[in-house]
Structure 1
């Protein structure tokens, strides 16, 4: 993750689960809001989670010998050298051409504060 750009570092929430991700995107996001988290089932993979009401769509990002790609049967496999390039590619609009929910607004973790007592996040204006 340290080799990634600012976008990826700002939206990477680490080892949060699916339910916490959905709550975050429902509470603080809008249609097109997205974040990145660790995959709960595939070690070394990430999940790109995108809100498109009334759902949160999850796409697994996997590393191969050629680079990172979005693992989805409906999406043509295309490799990228970094997660940032992959996300920016789908963010520029090519995602809608292949059935990926539009990525319009990164959910920046720097604007959220984690309260471990209540296991909740709160929004902080930066």
Structure 2
């Protein structure tokens, strides 16, 4: 699952454009954090916004940063974190319903040269 939704080093605006153009409410992707080295951002669309949750790694494992520094839930891997939150979304998060898979975007881009150019600029 992780490799399908991991977009690497794209910025916040690029992630938002992808989710707005190719996603729907509940679509999500994972990207590198721009502000915290080694952290990731889970971006989830819920119209009219794209919500971003920072995921950090410590010796305890992986966790989504919580509101008011409440005690986070720790996972041994990013895959397990995402799969758990897809099944049981915490109250403070938007549900993770539809992975925005990179492979699907590439197929769509090949059929539309203009879409390919706009995707590649990110």
After TM superposition, the score normalised by the length of structure 2 is 0.84
Counterpart in 2 of 1:27? 21
1:73 to 67, 70, 93: 67
Larger % of strand: which?
1
Q: Map 1:55-74 onto structure 2 (within 5 A).
A: 55-73=49-67
Aligned-residue RMSD, C-alpha: 1.9
Gaps of 5+ in 2: none
Gaps of 5+ in 1: 1-6
Q: Give the number of equivalent residue pairs.
A: 112
Could you tell me how far 1:94 is from its partner in structure 2?
3.2
Larger % of helix: which?
2
Could you tell me how far 1:99 is from its partner in structure 2?
1.2
After TM superposition, the score normalised by the length of structure 1 is 0.82
Tell me the SS of whatever aligns to 1:94.
coil
Could you tell me how far 1:71 is from its partner in structure 2?
0.6
